[in-house]
Structures are given as C-alpha cells and as structure tokens.
Amino acid sequence: METEERVKSLIEEQVRPALQSHGGDIELVSIDPDGGVVTVRLKGACGNCPFAAETLRSQVEAVIRKEIPEIEKVVRTE
C-alpha cells in the first residue's frame, strides 16, 4: 500500500472518528511523501478550538507517525 493510501486509511479509521466524537472533523489536503509532510484542515469544533494545535500534535500526528514513520510531520492549513 502506498503512503497516500495508508495516510487516508488512518485518517478515516482512527483519526476522523475520534475528532467527530467531539464535534470536529478533518480533511486531508495534501501529502508530500518525499518531504514527509501531511497537510490537513481541521473542521467543525476542531477548526476554531483553542486546543487545535495540541489535537493536531497528540491525536493526528502521533497516530500517523506511529504507523507511517516516513511521515515526519503533520501541518494544518486554514
């Protein structure tokens, strides 16, 4: 399975349900497998939450990096 497919699967199966349980959501914007960067957009309650940076680091980036070590970071766009 390619990196992009693996990232999409992790977001759909693990990240999105966790965020949706709190009224939020996530959208995959882009993946740069060569640079090891995933760009996402946090939506709903997560989009304007003061803890969005922590959510990104501890829930989104941690899950993706654990399963796909070649991803070095996850960044957020508006």
pLDDT tens for 17-32 read: 999 998 999 999 999 9
Kind of pairing between the strands at 37-44 and 73-76: parallel
Cα atoms in the Cβ-side hemisphere of radius 13 Å centred on 37: 8
Q: What is the mean pLDDT of residues 66-70?
A: 93
pLDDT at 40 over 90: yes
The backbone torsions φ and ψ at residue 49, rounded to the nearest 5 degrees and listed phi first, read -75, 140
What's the total number of domains in the chain? 1
Residue 13 banded pLDDT, cuts 50, 70, 90: very high
Give pTM, 2 decimals: 0.88
Bigger pLDDT: 54 or 40?
A: 40
User: What CATH number corresponds to the domain at position 46?
Assistant: 3.30.300.130
